[in-house]
Structure 1
């Protein structure tokens, strides 16, 4: 894992830990052109897992998680995120599959962030 990916993942993990009380157990991020695509595994707190035990609870956890993440990034961008990739964040797309405890975030930047491989 490159230093840039590691630092990017650390920011994502810290933000989610601070926001939800638990960060993801594992994050896999790839940089593709002007995007960072992060897959996050093991996100849910024990309380969220309990709430998700019913279909209505699953919907509630899904909506709360995805809306909160989008709101946090639009209102208060995590410090250092844009510095790491050297570009400005213009869009964040986020979704979660509650039943499998997997989330995906696609960060779209204003220019290419992909590191050239030599």
Structure 2
């Protein structure tokens, strides 16, 4: 597989994870592999209720806490989704949400440079 094909398959797997574990998928998703990092950028994943909550500081904090807890509780499933595409050891995973832009960024740190995996 090429780098682009792996990135595309990772995007599909992560989008499916978001739908199954978080309740809805993103409008757009982009995955980029850089050496031992996988960067995932999801756009348009906030629900209408979350968008309405995001109008004040308390709502923003609540959304971030809930989304962070949901992601932490589903971490094993997320890592399984990544491993279903490419057999790697995951060192750590980070995630953050922007209620201003409606984006989510996930960073996956691997134990090796995976640029050697593709043609």
Query: Can you list the C-alpha shifts for 1:54-73, whole angstroms capped at 9, x where unaligned?
Result: 22011100121123213311
Extract unaligned runs of 5+ from structure 1.
Answer: none
Residues paired across the two proteins, number? 117
SS of structure 1 residue aligned to 2:106: strand
Extract unaligned runs of 5+ from structure 2.
Answer: none
Q: Aligned in 2, Cα 1:105/1:80: closer, same or farther, shift over 3 Å?
A: closer
| Structure with more relative contact order (C-alpha pairs < 8 Å, separation 6 or more) | 2
Q: Aligned in 2, Cα 1:78/1:108: closer, same or farther, shift over 3 Å?
A: closer
Q: Aligned in 2, Cα 1:20/1:91: closer, same or farther, shift over 3 Å?
A: same
- 2:43 aligned with 1:41: yes
Query: Hey, what does 1:111 align to over in structure 2?
Result: 112
Q: Following the alignment from structure 1 to structure 2, what is the Cα–Cα distance between the partners of residues 108 and 20?
A: 22
Q: Aligned in 2, Cα 1:16/1:116: closer, same or farther, shift over 3 Å?
A: closer
Tell me the TM-score normalized by structure 1: 0.85
- 2:13 aligned with 1:3: no
Candidates 46, 59, 62, aligned match of 1:60 = 62
Tell me the TM-score normalized by structure 2: 0.84
- 2:89 aligned with 1:88: yes
